[in-house]
Every structure is written in C-alpha cells, then in structure tokens.
Structure 1
Amino acid sequence: MMISQELAQYQLPDLEDPFTTSEIHELFSFFQPEQQSIKSTSSLESIPLVYSIEEKKRKRMKSNRESAKRSRWRKKRHLENLTTEADHLKLENRKLKNQLCMMTNEYHLVQRDTNWLTVECIELQQRLAGLYQILLTMQLC
C-alpha cells in the first residue's frame, strides 16, 4: 500500500502529443515475444528470433545465389559478345589484308608498266634525236 500511495503523489507530466492507444500497443508489441503454438520454457523462447535470423540468412543466401547466377549469365553473354566481335574483327582484318595484297600487286604492276614506259620513252627520245641528226645532215648536204 505504501508504494501505491507514493505513486499517487507523483503526477505524470502533460505531453503535448500523447500516444494513441494503437501506438502504445504497437510499441509494446516490440517487447513481447511472439505467440507460439507450442508452450516452451524460457530457454526456448529465443527460438523465434533465431528462426527469423536463420530465415533471413536463407533469404540472403537465396538472393546471393540468384545474384551470382545473374552475374554469371551477364558474364557469359559479355564473353559471347566479345567472341562474336573478335570473330567479326578477324574476318574484317582478313578482308583488309586481302585488299592490301591486291592493291600492292596492282601497285607493282603499275610500277612495272611505268618503268617500261619510262625506258621506252628514253629509247624513243634517243631514236628521235638520231633522226634529227640524219635530217640535219641531209639538209646540210
């Protein structure tokens, strides 16, 4: 009785925004252990928390597996894309090398023709010079 008289002497402070009943029940629900269908001793009351931690671990493991699977899939697709691109570039490189070879051959043919024409031009100039000399000698005689 003495405790209740002492409590009666104290007044609760007036709160500007007191909690509603539903808010108070919600707050207290955090401190109350979850109801179990099987009655257990106080040492087994921690099982729901362990279960929820285990459940979180399982969910995280599942999520990590799925993420790893997606990552492996993306890596595989990326590798396939790079392989396809490498094959395409090799083909293009082969085509360019063939074109270079053809152009080099054409260059050598044109260079050979140019050299032949240059030699022929020199020979013709020499023949023309000889003909001029013959003509000059004929005119002088």
Structure 2
Amino acid sequence: MFLSEEDDQFELPVHETGFTRKELEELLSFLESDEPISPNSGSEGSTRAVSFLESNEPVSPNYGSEGSTRAIYSRDERKKRRMISNRESARRSRWRKRMHLENITDEVNRLSIENQQLKNRVSLVMNQYHIVWQENEQLRSESVALWGKLLDLYWTLATIQPR
C-alpha cells in the first residue's frame, strides 16, 4: 500500500480535501497502478476508481478534525505521534535558538567592529584637535608678542611727535 505506518507521522490534509483516509489511500493506490482509468475499461479497479471519482456523496467538512483522528488511532499510536510531534517541535525550537544565537553573535561582531572604527575616528579627531590646539596656542603667544611690539611702537611714536 502507498501509505505505510512510517508515513503516518505526517498528517494528510484530510480536512482540506474532504476525503476520508481510506478513500485517499484507495485513490492513491489507483494512481500508483499502471491500469488506465476509464469508465469503458473492463477492469474492476478502474471502474471502481471512476465511480469513486464521479460519486456525488456529500463529504463532511469536519472529517479530518481532531475528534475523528482520535477515533481512528489507538492510544499507543496517539502517544507515539505526540512524542514524534514533540521531538520535531523541540528540534525546531533548538534550531530557532541556534539561529537567534548566530544572529546575536553576528550583531556583536558587527558592533565590535563598528565600535573599533569609532574609537579610531575619535583618536584621529583627538590628534587633530591637539595639533590645532598647539597651533592656536602658538598663534596666541605670537599675537601677544605682536601686541606688545605694537604698543611699544605707539609709545615711541607718541614720544617722538611734538604736541
């Protein structure tokens, strides 16, 4: 048969198709077979497949609901499926944590690089500031010396000129 017990760990979308599990298995077995499906064919399987596909029986929209799943599977099967589901959920959770940790690690590395670049820029600006400050101090001292010379020239000029 197409669906083995190992495949039972994955839920078929019964609630989306409106077919029962048995009907889906039968349909899939017809699709796997090499027999052509036509209403004029003499084989029993193809006639059943066509009548199955052409049937106008109403299908309940809640056929694949949780309640019907509980009726189909035994307690051990449900426990096994729940355990498999929990393992898969734990695996996805570990994967999300690992991705989150990688993202945070990448962010830390990026911010560390950016921090180092900013420190380098601050250091460069501080060096430029120190150079400009020294030039400014030199210009101030030259300015004071020039003001002193200018003041001496005014006094000399004032004493030389008659009143």
Q: TM-score, normalised by structure 2?
A: 0.58
Q: Does 1:117 find its partner at 2:123?
A: no
Where structure 1 has 5 or more consecutive residues not aligned to the other structure, the ranges are: 1-19, 35-44, 137-141
Please say which structure displays the higher CA radius of gyration.
1
Partner of 1:65: 94
1:129 matched to 2:162: no
Map residues 1-141 of structure 1 onto 2, 5 A cutoff.
Answer: 21=57, 23=59, 27=63, 30=68, 32-34=71-73, 45-133=74-162
Give the aligned CA root-mean-square deviation in angstroms.
2.2
Q: Which has the higher helix share?
A: 1
In the alignment, structure 2 segments of 5+ residues that lack a partner are 1-55
Question: What are the superposed Cα offsets for residues 12-38 of structure 1, whole Å, 9 maximum, x if unpaired?
Answer: xxxxxxxx64625x839926424xxxx
Q: Percent identity?
A: 13
Structure of higher RCO (CA pairs closer than 8 Å, 6+ residues apart): 2
Tell me which residue corresponds to 2:39.
none
- In structure 2, how many angstroms separate the alpha carbons of the residues matched to 1:70 and 1:49? 31
